[in-house]
Structure formats: structure tokens, C-alpha cells
Amino acid sequence: MESSATQRSHAADAEPVQLPLTRIGAGFSFLSGMRVLDLSTSVAGPYATMLLGDMGADVIKIERPGIGDDARAWGPPFLDGESLWYVAVNRNKRSVTLDIVAPRGREILDALIKASDVVLLNQPLRVQKKLGVDAVACRAIRPDIVHVSITGFGLQGMRADWPCYDLIAEGYSGIMDITGEADGPAQKIGAPAADMLAGQDAAFATVSALFERTRTGAGRSIDVSLVDSMTRFLSCRMVPYLGSQEMPRRSGGKDSVIAIYQAFETADLPLTLGLGNDTIWKRFWRALDRSDIGDRECYNTNVKRREHRVEIVSIIQDLLRQHPRDHWLGLFSRNRVPAGPIYRLDEVAQDSGLLQRGLFYTLDDNGRLLPQVGTGFHVDGKANVPRRAPQRLGASTVEVLCDLAKLGDGDIESLRRDGVI
């Protein structure tokens, strides 16, 4: 059997992924009529506002003239000069370039705040106050504004002014300490988990505040912390520790509260197997025609199976090595035993089930082809459709300033000449 390292190396030889083409459409409209002013950069804030845009909000993304969002420079890889990290979290927005420090830029920003329902940003409170975009300042312009901050450590507390990235938040949260093999170093999760979780928290809190505003007419100040969001992700680990003082340790994913819940080798490729209750335990052994093992009294509860985990894992591992992965996945699927492959990303992108759900697609923006990961859930049996592609820097500047700031052509030209936009 090939080693996992050899199997993984084959990813470099994978064929280019061909995704279904999707064009701009109506999309979900739950937040139609809501306007979000996005003053954030990088991943967490832009992901939050993309989720709001996916739900129908009009998102206006303010970017620095000539530079834009930090993520526009993150690469390689680039696609036709665009950072794919930026493309991943910035659809359904209008990009406006604006120097908000310049006096005329500040006037325009105030007009945009007044025309918005939500302001979202990722600067610490000290910087917010310096720029005049803290909750108090924004509420002086629009009293019912929903003001959303995403920072590393929150707006209050001993670390409120400290800089932070996803990596730092993962370290603080404890997730890195319990990720990796037992005899290996702590590991970061292979995606910006703290950023994405904080972005989801911010979007959820924003929608909740907007819903409340329909009853009260009042805005809210929302304070989201990367470290808080990432630590909350560990609730199912933290609460057992707090209640028992039993310290979880790195195990390569082999220490679940469920006795058999881990990866196994087969005759060719690894698979995952989760025997989460007594019924599934018995179905698994019936599928293998080994009910004699499944019926043993010493294994008849999860507690007992955890006591005998080492020997059970050894028995299962010996059996699974007798046939290839696909043999087992077919057998387990027919017998309703939870199991699955350990995909590389190229395999994920070509998975027929995910493609059928509309999760991956290439967005055709008048011939500009951009890969996308969809909203991720269906409504009334349908997947979401993007209303707007991730825009080039400043693509909607003139449109927004004319419509919302009520500027004329001469004003626009003057601002452009002076580098304000």
C-alpha cells in the first residue's frame, strides 16, 4: 500500500478542475433593502460582509485608492492578476476607492454612513476613534446604525489594542495544542478557521440586530473577537475539561468521546469511520458478517468500547486492510454505516455530490471566469446564485458616489485628480 505522503504527492499531477459555469442572477433576497458599509480588510470582515451580500444586502466595500484590501496582494496563486484569496470572500459587493482620512473623503464617508444600515470594520477601538468610525461617531451620523467590529481580542480588556491574525487566535484558543499527532508539534488548522468563524459570528449577530431593529428602531454595537470565536469552536472540548479537569492531548484525531471515530488504512487509501451509537456499532459488524464481535457483552456500550478502544481499533484495522477503500465505502453506504474518504482538495472539487448541490462553480462575469465556493445551503430546494462578481478595485466608485453621495462628474474628476478616490 502506498504511504499517505506518496498518495498526497499525486495531487500535483491532478487534472485541472472543470466546474459548471454560473452567471449573475437574482440570488437570495432576504436582506434586500439593507445596505452594509464594509470598512474591513483581509478575511474575517470581508467574509462576514460577503455572507450578508449573499443574503441580498447591498454591500459597499471601501478600499484604499491604488492599494485596496490587503488580501488583493496575497499570492501566489493569482488568476489573471487577481488574488484568489481576495476572490474567495468578496463577491456580491461594490468596490469603492476612497481616502477616508482626506477631508473630502471624510465628507463622502459620512454620507455613505448616513445611507447605510450597517457599518462593519476590523480596526481596534483606538484606531476607530482616531478615524472617527467608532460606534459613537457613526451613531451621531445615523442613530439606528448597526455597528459591527471584528478584532483579535475584542474592543475591551487587557489585549484590546493588540494586533492579531488567524494564526495568533488559533494559538490562544487551544485548538492548535490538540491538533496534530501525539508525538508531533502543535498544528494550525489548514484553513483560516478563526477568521471564518468570526465572520460567521459577525454576520449572524448583524442579522439578529437588524431583526430586532424592525421592532425597536434602535441600532446595536456588536463586538466580535477572533479569539472568542475560535475558542467557542472548542466548546465540546472545553466543557468536558472544565467539568472533569481531564486534559485533552494531541492524538491524531484518535481520542474522540465516541469510541470508534477516526481514520483507518485500507488496502490502498485511508477512510474515516464513525460508529456513533450502539445501533451503528451492530450494523457495522453485521455488514462485515462478524456479528460475533458486535454482540460481545464487553463491547455493548460506548463506555465499554472506550475501555477496550485499543483492541477494537486493532481488530477493525486488520479487517479493513483486506480490501480497497472503495469496496468498504460501498459496503458501508449500503448498510448505513457512517464512513467516507479523506479527500485532497482536487478530489473535493470534483465530488459529484458537492457539484450536484451547486457548491462549486465558475462565475462567468462577461467572460471573466472566477472560481467560487457557494453560500453552502439551499432555500426552498435551490442553491444561491451570485448577484455580483468580486469586483476589480474601485469598479463601483463612480456609481456609488453619484447615487449615494450625490456628486457630479466635475466632483468625481476633482477627487480622482487629487487621489481621494
Q: Does residue 220 lie in a domain region? A: yes
**How many angstroms separate the most distant Cα atoms in the chain?**
85
Which range marks the domain in which residue 173 is found? Answer: 31-233+391-417
Q: Does residue 238 lie in a domain region? A: no
- We report the CATH number of the domain holding residue 289 as 3.30.1540.10
Other Cβ atoms less than 10 A from the Cβ of 148: the count is: 30
Same domain, 201 and 293: no
Residue 55, helix vs strand vs coil: coil
Predicted confidence at residue 252, as pLDDT, reads 85
Same domain, 58 and 163: yes
Other Cβ atoms less than 10 A from the Cβ of 47: the count is: 24
Same domain, 320 and 279: yes
Helix (H) or strand (E) holding 167, with range, is helix 166-173
Please tell me the distance from the alpha carbon of residue 418 to that of residue 27, in angstroms, as a whole number: 38
Q: Does residue 284 lie in a domain region? A: yes
Report yes or no on whether pTM surpasses 0.75. Answer: yes
Same domain, 301 and 265: yes
Predicted confidence at residue 43, as pLDDT, reads 97
Q: Does residue 181 lie in a domain region? A: yes
Predicted confidence at residue 44, as pLDDT, reads 97
**What residues does 60 pair with on adjacent strands?**
37, 94
pLDDT digit string, tens, across residues 349-364: 999 999 999 999 999 9
pLDDT digit string, tens, across residues 16-35: 678 999 999 999 999 999 99
Taking 70 as the pLDDT cut, the residues of the chain under it are 1-16
Predicted confidence at residue 13, as pLDDT, reads 54
Q: Does residue 120 lie in a domain region? A: yes
- We report the CATH number of the domain holding residue 406 as 3.40.50.10540
Same domain, 116 and 222: yes
DSSP 82: E
Catalytic residue list = 195
The number of distinct structural domains making up the chain is: 2
Same domain, 301 and 224: no
